Structure 1
Amino acid sequence: MEEEVILVPQSKRNLTGLDFFLLWSGAAISIAEIWAGGMLVSLGFWGGVMAILIGHIAGNAPLSLGGIIGSEWGISSMFSIRAAFGRKGSFVASFFNIIQLLGWTAIMVIICARAMDVISMKMFGYNNRFLWILIAGLGSTVWAMVGNRWWKWIQRIAIVALGALCVVMTYVVMMNAPFSFLKNIIADGSLHWATGFDIVIAMPISWLPLVADYSRFAKNTKSACRGTWWGYFFVSSWMFILGFFLSLATGQSDPIPGMVAMGFGIIAFMVVLFSTITTTFLDIYSTAISFMNIKPRVKEKFATFLFGIGGTVLALFFPVDRYESFLYFIGSIFIPLFGVVLFDYFIYRKRNIDVKELLHQKEYDLLALLAWAGGFVIYQLFLNYLPVLSASLPSLFSSGALYLGLKKWIKK
């Protein structure tokens, strides 16, 4: 029973490189990414642009590598963790992933509702945040429940439409705040460049614990990897830069008022709502898949519905003003976790695992858990005591290197 739930047969692996490009483009067209770009305004023009581009290059590398595990073996992200951490060790990771995905669902719905409130008030003199939360949350839940059979078609239509709207928004921003003006804005020193870099890298890393949930449906590993990398890199960088430019032009870290002030109106309204749905459904579906790693007998659609409703309800209470802290939490948990997973798969196991053995393997791997904890400590030390340096890459490599070192030491 568990094998049927977790392993995707070859007959169901029907997504192409283009499908993955559009899937991750849809994930990246998000008001949350535009908003995160606004957080970098204090870095100045060149500092912000470099943080966005370098952060996405650094973050997309592990994102794409994590997807390779899924496409090569037809397994989900949380199930793939069993190779390094053991069966019950993967349950710990699944627990944290469920928390972060519920948090992301709530954050996306809240940001959408706040933005739609501002826009609808400007356009129609009407505001109702509770209504917008329900529309965004329930719409994302329905989208998640239709299943991978239909995603490829609805994503193609939605992303082309959203992309066209974002082109219009970008054009208007550049007309109102030309490059000649933006490039002369300098950093004010209130945010270290490395801290801004960690904010950027946390965004692609936040998708790492679920990338294999979708790459397991790939026809071909190479095309899926390329589609994932370029789809997310290109569009996420674009969304960050759009929010960054809006905030530079207005001097506010929240780009939403800038969108309203520039008269986007119905375009902004459509981008905010539909981009939230095309992004948030990924969080909802993967929350269900992570839960099924622990309880494989639960029906997929039931779990999807349950967590979609749960994330929507959570949106009514979630402290969205702690968004930046939430990004750091994601980085500190999942960067060292996947440092261990990636080093284990690509270096220690040389991309060779026995999937059926993972169904019945030992309960947990203490060495992997120790390496994960060590990487978490490294992240916190760099973030809190060495803010001029990035916490992300030291955490990733230290956890992976510590894992390999412990494995070699035990063998002796």
Structure 2
Amino acid sequence: MLKNLSQHFGQDGLAATDASHRSLGFGGTTALWLGANVVVTTILTGMLLVPDLPFLQAMLIVLCGSAIGILPLVLVGLMGQRTGLTTMVLARGSYGVHGAKLPSLVNLLTLLAWSWIQALLAGMSLNYAVEHVTGYSNLPLFTILCETLVLLIALRGHLGIERVERWAAIGMLLLAGAVFYVMADKFEFSQLLSMPVEPRNEITPGIAFDIVIATAFSWIPLAADYNRNCRTQGDAAVGTWLGYVVATLLAMGLGATVSGFSVLGGMEQTYDPAVLLAGFGFGLPAAIVVFLSVMTTNVMCVYSASLSYLNMRPQTKFWKPALVIGVLSVAGSQIPGILDNFQSFLLIIGSLFIPAFAVLIADFFLIQRGQYAVDDLLSEDGGSYRYLGGFNPAAFAAYGLGAVLAYYWGWVSPLAWGASLPVFLITATSYTVLRRWVLVPRVRLA
């Protein structure tokens, strides 16, 4: 029976997307990345910034951090658009056909952790909405229902996700606009702008910038998975940048605003925006915003985590890892205190992903001059990307250096304005030097 059902699932896989089957134009790409990032976890990030920082300073950091931090994601998305390949298949070009399995595993585990957080938050928002209307509360049940819906959408493949994201993006913009409107009617924004700084989360400007950058970097592994379906390079680049930056300003701005007003109103800060907004009289619309945003983002996490698994086990049918990941997401969402470590989780993502994708970007644009031999990347033995037994030692040496620097500058001796950009630039530069002048053969382009 399950085998018969699987015929109705999306048939997405690792093969390059044909140009005639590209489904995303400029509007679709913008909506995809806007819908993906108007999400409760981004709202939570905005909540961390105020009142530790002045509101205007926090928003300036969000603007600069997202505008700069999204650029590597745009570049990886362009790699996907040019080749038609997923992110982790592209990683074979820089890490080797076997070496790419390591970042695939790290990405799978990280997206699974993201999915745990998203499943719980979706369940919390739906539980709040139902309780508000009916008085009935059952968080585990609503978490399971939310993740089941996520799984059903993800199993439809990228076309199903793109349709959902368009409508969700419109709905979230309308609802978020309504929240801002009511908030502006009930409160004086001048109070928010002049409220005193109060250290609550140990957030400095440098840490804030690093967190905003890390938020952008957390999306990099998904970039090519979706942008390989963009029709043109311009759609991929401009649509991704615009959608992400607008979404980040909106979501983190909402989080910072709600956090500031909650402090001014003497309320206790919470990780559930719907609860905070309920104190201002519109918890139900906020719960709907949270629900829509988490659902759309979690669908993308489950989908890309499944593609990461396929890069390690290419013969597997797409629906099988998607089903298992959906079940694991429900189980993980029940881990006690999972939201308490959200800030640390963001910084860990930066430590893992920033050097990893600095290598990938440097290899494609600086070493390979923007070209990969697609057939070799998809071949079982890696073709010209086999390197030394399927591993590229230059990539792992540069990544190791970047990871050590990210840990040291992020945790042991933090830099004043964060470790993200220095780590990215040093890793990319060291890889370029190692790849050109150390014992690694040049790739033969087809």
TM-score calculated relative to the size of structure 1: 0.94
Distance 1:11 1:313 in 2: 40
Aligned to 2:162: 152
- Where do 5+ consecutive residues of structure 1 fail to align? none
Aligned to 1:408: 436
Shift in CA distance, 202/253, structure 1 to aligned 2, threshold 3 Å: farther
Matches within 5 A, 1:333-352: 333-352=352-371
Aligned to 2:20: 11
Contact 1:44/1:188 (<8 A) preserved: no
Kindly provide the amino acid, as one letter, of the partner of residue 346 in structure 2.
L
Distance 1:13 1:271 in 2: 30
Aligned to 2:443: none
Aligned to 2:289: 271
Matched, 1:85 2:85: no
Aligned to 1:74: 84
**What secondary structure, in the 3-state scheme, does the structure 2 residue paired with 1:263 have?**
coil
Matches within 5 A, 1:129-148: 129-148=139-158
Distance 1:356 1:206 in 2: 28
Contact 1:45/1:187 (<8 A) preserved: no
Which one of 238, 251, 258 corresponds to residue 250 of structure 2? 238
> Which structure's residues are more often helix, by fraction?
1
Task: Tell me the C-alpha RMSD between the 2 structures.
Answer: 1.9
Q: Number of residue pairs matched?
A: 410
Kindly provide the amino acid, as one letter, of the partner of residue 106 in structure 1.
W
Contact 1:106/1:312 (<8 A) preserved: yes
Contact 1:39/1:253 (<8 A) preserved: no
How far did residue 122 of structure 1 move? Answer: 5.1
Contact 1:17/1:225 (<8 A) preserved: no
Aligned to 1:326: 345
Aligned to 2:308: 290
Kindly provide the amino acid, as one letter, of the partner of residue 391 in structure 1.
A
Deviations 1:91-133 (A, max 9, x none): 0000000011000110111122334445555554432110221
Kindly provide the amino acid, as one letter, of the partner of residue 12 in structure 1.
H
Shift in CA distance, 365/111, structure 1 to aligned 2, threshold 3 Å: same
- Where do 5+ consecutive residues of structure 2 fail to align? 1-11, 264-268, 441-446
TM-score calculated relative to the size of structure 2: 0.87
How far did residue 247 of structure 1 move? Answer: 0.1
Matches within 5 A, 1:388-407: 388-407=416-435
**What secondary structure, in the 3-state scheme, does the structure 2 residue paired with 1:183 have?**
helix
Aligned to 2:122: 112
How far did residue 253 of structure 1 move? Answer: 6.0
Kindly provide the amino acid, as one letter, of the partner of residue 336 in structure 1.
P
Aligned to 1:377: 404
Contact 2:165/2:296 (<8 A) preserved: yes
Distance 2:14 2:116 in 1: 27
Shift in CA distance, 30/105, structure 1 to aligned 2, threshold 3 Å: same
Shift in CA distance, 51/124, structure 1 to aligned 2, threshold 3 Å: farther
Contact 2:14/2:86 (<8 A) preserved: no
Distance 1:120 1:194 in 2: 40
Contact 1:47/1:187 (<8 A) preserved: no
Distance 1:262 1:378 in 2: 44
Aligned to 2:393: 366
Matched, 1:194 2:196: no
Deviations 1:287-340 (A, max 9, x none): 000000111111112222221222122111262211111111110000111111
Contact 1:25/1:235 (<8 A) preserved: yes
Kindly provide the amino acid, as one letter, of the partner of residue 34 in structure 1.
I
Distance 1:35 1:124 in 2: 27
Aligned to 1:171: 181
How far did residue 243 of structure 1 move? Answer: 0.6
Distance 2:14 2:235 in 1: 25
Bigger mean CA deviation after superposition, 196-205 or 168-177: 168-177
Shift in CA distance, 296/383, structure 1 to aligned 2, threshold 3 Å: same
Shift in CA distance, 132/404, structure 1 to aligned 2, threshold 3 Å: same
Shift in CA distance, 19/97, structure 1 to aligned 2, threshold 3 Å: same
How far did residue 58 of structure 1 move? Answer: 1.6
Contact 2:48/2:203 (<8 A) preserved: no
Kindly provide the amino acid, as one letter, of the partner of residue 123 in structure 2.
A
Shift in CA distance, 113/172, structure 1 to aligned 2, threshold 3 Å: same
Kindly provide the amino acid, as one letter, of the partner of residue 22 in structure 1.
A
Distance 1:256 1:388 in 2: 34
Deviations 1:237-259 (A, max 9, x none): 21011011100111236444321
Contact 1:45/1:186 (<8 A) preserved: no
Shift in CA distance, 187/121, structure 1 to aligned 2, threshold 3 Å: same
Distance 1:6 1:203 in 2: 29
Bigger mean CA deviation after superposition, 321-330 or 269-278: 269-278
Distance 1:187 1:133 in 2: 36
Bigger mean CA deviation after superposition, 384-393 or 98-107: 384-393
Bigger mean CA deviation after superposition, 260-269 or 389-398: 260-269
Contact 1:119/1:268 (<8 A) preserved: no
